[in-house]
Amino acid sequence: MKHVVVLGGGVGGTLAANLIARKLKRAIARGEAKVTVVDGTGEHAYQPGYMYIAMGNERPERLHRPERSLLDGNVELLVETIERIDPATSLVTMASGAKVHFDQLVIATGCRILPGEIKDFETEAYHFYTPGASARLRKALDAFKGGKIVIGIAGIPYKCPPAPLEVAFLIEAELRARGLRDSTQLTFLSPINRAFTIESVSDMATPIFAEKGIELQLLAGVDSIDAERKVVITDAMEEYPYDLLICVPPHKGVQAMIDSGLAPKSGWLPTDRHTLQVKHLVPANTPDAEVPRYPNIHALGDATDLPLSKAGSTAHFEAPIVAERVSSLVMGREPEGKDARYTGKVMCFFEVGDGKGTLLQFDYEHPPRPPKPNQLWHLGKMVFNKTYWHTVPRGRV
Return averaged pLDDT per consecutive 10 residues of the chain, 397 residues in all: 98 98 97 98 96 96 97 98 98 98 98 97 98 98 98 97 98 98 98 97 98 98 98 98 98 98 98 98 93 98 96 96 98 96 96 97 96 96 93 86
What pLDDT sits at residue 159? 96
What pLDDT sits at residue 349? 95
Shared fold status for 2-110+254-331 and 114-250: yes
What pLDDT sits at residue 35? 98
Distances (CA, A) of 48 to 37, 54, 276, 348, 384: 22, 11, 24, 11, 11
Q: At the topology level of CATH, where does 114-250 sit?
A: FAD/NAD(P)-binding domain (3.50.50)
Distance CA 359, CA 293 (A): 34
What pLDDT sits at residue 213? 98
3-class DSSP assignment, residue 226: strand
What pLDDT sits at residue 397? 75
Exposure pattern of 35-52 as b/e (b: 16+ CB <10 Å)?
A: bbbbbbeeebbbbbbbbb
Pick the CATH number of 2-110+254-331 from 3.50.50.60, 3.30.70.920, 3.30.9.10, 3.40.980.10: 3.50.50.60
**Structural domain boundaries in the chain:** 2-110+254-331, 114-250
What pLDDT sits at residue 394? 87
Distance CA 194, CA 203 (A): 9
Closest CA to 107 of 278, 333, 242: 278
> What pTM value is reported for the model?
0.96
